Chain A
Amino acid sequence: MSREGIRDKVAIVGAGCCKFGENWDQSPSDMIVDAAYEAYADAGIDEPQRQIEAVFTGSLYTTKGPLECSDALKLFNIPVTMVSNYCATGTDAFRCAVMAIASGMHDTVLVVGYDKPKDRGVSGPSVMMDGVRDLPKTPAGWFSLCAATYFEKYGAGREDLARIAVKNHHNGTLAPKSFLKREITVEEALKGRMISWPFGLYDCAAQTDGAAAVVLTRADLAKSFSDAPVMVKGVTLRSGPNPQKDPTNDFLSWKPTGWAAKDVYAQAGISNPGKEIDIAQVHDCFTLTELLSYEDLGFCEKGSAKEHIADGRFELTGDLPVNTDGGLKTFGHPTGATGVRMLYENVMQLRGLAGERQIEGASMALSHNIGGHPTACAIAIVGLP
């Protein structure tokens, strides 16, 4: 099987994203329409009912399944598929769409990721109880399990995590569609109330509603939609064992990210990701998740992240800016939307439309989600033709 087989076969010709936040007065359908119609406009699609041939939609909290999207957009008599893959849902929906086009089954496909957690009446993630022995289940409680081990082995600490929060808060102030728009300091971050040691409030992503959409088409048709198509260089998904019972887990990294990175770099023909990737949107559900991902994605050596953080390498002014729009930290994490929102940001950056947060000359961009305990990782790399 040729890992490079997918490269440059599919193009993103339209991208849209609704304003993320506590969208009390918007239904999922309202947000889906905002995101999809922005993507349609971007792609020059004025007859979506005729031009969209298939939809892959991703959501974790939906109770309506694919109908939520097909009914909102009135897209009938075409395949509409709901994808659910924990926090990797959005990128996985995108992956399915890319394969549908690369296979020759469809020419023009819409991807919509969305979620509406703020309708549940809780300010944070729920405490999940779906079995006798699975408790306590809070995302902070399971993502923090790498902290004690990583801190002990590599000497990192809460201040290194706080610097990531400070960076993402700053970037979020420059993104019009982000939820949190406030600069914070390291001291402030360290003083936040404790959620699950070592995660204080500022180590955790916000909780918001949101939707994002992209329109994909065959590379050879891209110019008929857009003057500035962005090419798919690689997209992957990797499953992983439940780290809570995996007997070989060292709690220094999350395995699926390393596996997915290896695969997607082979697809994109990337041998030195730290140099060849210009910008990255990395899954920062918690600050430590972003820190571990720097290493698991090969941006730096295992154990060295704190030096790179201190050097400012991942800031907007660094040589590999990460979470240029403020990430999950400031956009929040409406689960199904996140991966597609990251693609939206990468498309904006590659086209030079990212305003004050624009990274000049970016031509290769990565987006990364991990989901579950985490038990899945999806990565997409997009670039200029």
Chain B
Amino acid sequence: MIGITSYGAYIPPTRLALATIGGRPAREGGPEKAVAWNDEDAITMAVSAGLACLQGLDRAEVDGLLFASTTHPFREKQAAALIGRALDLRRDLRTADYGGSLRAGLSALRAAGDAVKAGSSRNVLVIASDCRMGAPGSALELNFGDGAVAFLVGESDVIASLEEAHAVSDEILDVWRSDGEDFSHSWEDRFVVQEGYTPRMVEAVEGLLQKTGEGVDDFARIALYAPDKRSHAGAARALRIADERLQEPFFGRLGNTGVAFAPMQLAAALESARPGDRLLVAGYGDGAEALSFAVSDAIEKLGERDGVDAQLARRRSVGSYDSYLKARGLGTTEWQGGTDPGLSATIHFRERDDDLSLRGQKCRKCSAVQFPAQRVCETCFARDEFDAIRLSDKRANVVTYTLDFFFPNPNPPTVVSIVEVEGARIHLQIVDCEPEQVALGMPVEFVFRRIHQVGGRPNYYWKGRPIGSWKGRPIAEKEATQ
């Protein structure tokens, strides 16, 4: 049996009220979308989703990583290799990037199934992540959301076996982004739905059903990509899918997450699936692709996943459309940031175990853990007697902190701390944390983020994020937020 053995999701906690896009005040409980903040992109979200998926599993077993996105931060340079390093996966890892089409997430998932079936890989991590932008104020901007989802595909402890798949390819210029453009375009929406989206989705799903000799009623849950809520309902109608079988698509809460949208719905379906359920997922983009799964007993043995439900619940509202524009680099700012001559690529290369994998070292003589890697032990002065230790999956505590109002940030202050992890101290930014929330001793977990743009390219490192809803002693004085 070949199929999904684990899954995990990441949805940026920042939510933009859709009302603010039209210049109206946000209202509590109104429609919103998840937005990647200034230090997040398709790669950082992918790492978070990957970490969630691999939670409690042996990372050494993963021998393949497929990354799907239409918003790779690099035009030339593989994202999967960088993500593999951040996830501290093995070196003989088979990596590939999928892109171009919005259905690349499902294409990668299917390719992973094929690779395991062919015996060329044993456990392939598939991550779909997207961070698309519509032009400010456009309808696309209203519908787009950001997020990532990861699946591990293998042949033991399969929770949902990949049963059948069907794809159709089509040439149509309905949604696109040309070279050098930041914003997606769409041709007239009626054309897109009538000549592209609806007929191709029907063709892919019906093609799959023909292969299996089944009908839509044989599936407990059906997840459909859709550019927006209305076309989602239209496709469901065309396919005669009963409401109770239709996976909730999260419009108004998450938004259309591009290549991660259909896979995100599949992950949500898995969260509520029971053994014996059959699931169907279909994605669209230059054609359409449908996959069907059968949920096995193993799903009850898989520990609780950090999935879509948990991620949707973890939220903070962004105050204004203006701060969203700044965070996405769409506002004007005096601070240019990227004009520096840049980091040495050689230094970056030498430090990749420290910076990307967050590996510290443990002294064989005195057992002290330290970060970054150093030649001489800071505690017992032994030389070159260390074993690497992964710190990214350990929990840390705040030793001290400050709130830096000077450091460039779309929403100052930047919370900066010294954290202790396994006895090692690290100078670390704290994110997703209100200034009043930070306190001595506060527990944090590590998240992979953009640290700056020096050299005109994204540079990545780890930051700390408060664990759960832990609230410490707030800073006594009001001035902290002035």
Known contacts A132-B348, A134-B427, A247-B370; is A148 also within 8 Å of B355 by CB?
Answer: no
Task: Verify A132–B482 contact, CB threshold 8 A.
Answer: no
Tell me whether A196 is interfacial, beta carbon within 8 Å: yes
Please report which residues of chain B, range 399-440, place their CB below 8 angstroms from some CB of chain A when the two chains form the complex: 399-408, 413-414, 416, 418, 420, 423-427, 429, 435, 440
Please report which residues of chain A, range 128-148, place their CB below 8 angstroms from some CB of chain B when the two chains form the complex: 129, 131-136, 138, 140-142, 144-148
Q: Which of A53-61, A88-96, A238-246, A350-358 contacts B (4 or more CB under 8 A)?
A: A238-246
**Bound: A135/B347 CA distance, A:** 16
Residues of A within 8 A of B351 (CB): 131-133
Residues of A within 8 A of B451 (CB): 132-133, 135
- Select B399's contact among A131, A141, A142, A251, beta carbons within 8 Å: A251
Residues of B within 8 A of A195 (CB): 404-406
Known contacts A133-B355, A136-B414; is A197 also within 8 Å of B403 by CB?
Answer: yes
**Bound: A249/B400 CA distance, A:** 11
**Bound: A36/B479 CA distance, A:** 45
Tell me whether B214 is interfacial, beta carbon within 8 Å: no
Task: Verify B429–A136 contact, CB threshold 8 A.
Answer: yes
**Residue on A nearest B462 in the bound complex, by CB:** A133
Tell me whether A193 is interfacial, beta carbon within 8 Å: yes
Residues of A within 8 A of B435 (CB): 197
Tell me whether B372 is interfacial, beta carbon within 8 Å: yes
Task: Verify A247–B407 contact, CB threshold 8 A.
Answer: no
**Bound: A157/B479 CA distance, A:** 12
Tell me whether B117 is interfacial, beta carbon within 8 Å: no
- Select A251's contact among B379, B400, B403, B407, beta carbons within 8 Å: B400
Please report which residues of chain A, range 319-368, place their CB below 8 angstroms from some CB of chain B when the two chains form the complex: none
Residues of B within 8 A of A247 (CB): 368, 370, 378-379, 420, 423-425
Task: Verify B425–A249 contact, CB threshold 8 A.
Answer: yes
How many chain B residues touch A (CB < 8 A): the figure is 48
How many chain A residues touch B (CB < 8 A): the figure is 37
Task: Verify A138–B407 contact, CB threshold 8 A.
Answer: yes
Task: Verify A129–B354 contact, CB threshold 8 A.
Answer: no
Please report which residues of chain A, range 141-180, place their CB below 8 angstroms from some CB of chain B when the two chains form the complex: 141-142, 144-149, 152, 157-158
Tell me whether A127 is interfacial, beta carbon within 8 Å: yes
Most buried by B among A127, A131, A134, A140: A131
Residues of A within 8 A of B477 (CB): 157-158, 198
- Select A196's contact among B343, B348, B400, B406, beta carbons within 8 Å: B406
Tell me whether A310 is interfacial, beta carbon within 8 Å: no
Q: Which of B156-164, B167-175, B240-248, B452-460 contacts A (4 or more CB under 8 A)?
A: B452-460
Residues of B within 8 A of A194 (CB): 403, 405, 413, 479-480, 482
Tell me whether A124 is interfacial, beta carbon within 8 Å: yes
Task: Verify A131–B425 contact, CB threshold 8 A.
Answer: no
Please report which residues of chain A, range 181-235, place their CB below 8 angstroms from some CB of chain B when the two chains form the complex: 190, 193-198, 200
Tell me whether B371 is interfacial, beta carbon within 8 Å: yes
Tell me whether B139 is interfacial, beta carbon within 8 Å: no
Residues of B within 8 A of A142 (CB): 427
Task: Verify A145–B401 contact, CB threshold 8 A.
Answer: yes
**Residue on A nearest B480 in the bound complex, by CB:** A197
Task: Verify B416–A136 contact, CB threshold 8 A.
Answer: yes
Tell me whether B461 is interfacial, beta carbon within 8 Å: yes
Task: Verify A145–B378 contact, CB threshold 8 A.
Answer: no
- Type the 1/0 row for B19-33, where 1 means its CB is closer than 8 Å to any CB of A: 000000000000000
Residues of A within 8 A of B402 (CB): 140-141, 144-145, 147-148, 196-197
Task: Verify A131–B347 contact, CB threshold 8 A.
Answer: yes
Task: Verify A133–B461 contact, CB threshold 8 A.
Answer: yes
**Residue on B nearest A146 in the bound complex, by CB:** B400
**Bound: A285/B462 CA distance, A:** 30
- Type the 1/0 row for B441-482, where 1 means its CB is closer than 8 Å to any CB of A: 000000000011010000111100000000000010101101
Tell me whether B340 is interfacial, beta carbon within 8 Å: yes
**Bound: A129/B344 CA distance, A:** 12
Residues of A within 8 A of B479 (CB): 158, 190, 194, 197-198, 200
Residues of B within 8 A of A127 (CB): 406-408
**Bound: A251/B419 CA distance, A:** 12
Chain A nearest CB from B200 CB (Å) reads 43
Known contacts A132-B461, A251-B399; is A140 also within 8 Å of B406 by CB?
Answer: yes
Task: Verify B355–A193 contact, CB threshold 8 A.
Answer: no
**Residue on B nearest A138 in the bound complex, by CB:** B406
Known contacts A133-B355, A133-B372, A141-B402; is A241 also within 8 Å of B378 by CB?
Answer: yes
Most buried by A among B405, B408, B451: B405
Task: Verify B340–A129 contact, CB threshold 8 A.
Answer: yes
**Residue on A nearest B374 in the bound complex, by CB:** A245
Known contacts A129-B452, A132-B351, A133-B372; is A141 also within 8 Å of B404 by CB?
Answer: yes
Residues of A within 8 A of B475 (CB): 197
Chain B nearest CB from A200 CB (Å) reads 8
**Bound: A200/B405 CA distance, A:** 10
Residues of B within 8 A of A152 (CB): 440
**Residue on A nearest B407 in the bound complex, by CB:** A136
**Residue on B nearest A127 in the bound complex, by CB:** B407
Task: Verify B440–A148 contact, CB threshold 8 A.
Answer: yes
**Bound: A18/B348 CA distance, A:** 43
Chain A nearest CB from B437 CB (Å) reads 13
**Residue on B nearest A125 in the bound complex, by CB:** B406
Task: Verify A148–B401 contact, CB threshold 8 A.
Answer: yes
- Select B355's contact among A132, A241, A251, beta carbons within 8 Å: A132
Residues of B within 8 A of A249 (CB): 418, 425
Residues of B within 8 A of A244 (CB): 418, 425-427
Which positions in B face A, CB cutoff 8 Å? 340, 343, 347-348, 351, 354-355, 368, 370-372, 378-379, 399-408, 413-414, 416, 418, 420, 423-427, 429, 435, 440, 451-452, 454, 459-462, 475, 477, 479-480, 482
A-B contact pairs, 25 of them (CB 8 A): A129-B452, A129-B454, A132-B461, A135-B407, A135-B429, A135-B452, A138-B406, A142-B427, A145-B418, A146-B400, A149-B440, A157-B477, A194-B403, A194-B405, A195-B406, A197-B404, A197-B413, A197-B479, A198-B477, A244-B425, A245-B378, A245-B427, A247-B420, A247-B424, A251-B399
What would 16 more interface pairs be, CB under 8 Å, given A144-B402, A148-B440, A194-B413?
Answer: A127-B406, A127-B407, A129-B340, A133-B427, A136-B416, A140-B406, A141-B406, A145-B401, A148-B401, A148-B402, A158-B479, A194-B482, A195-B406, A197-B480, A245-B370, A245-B425
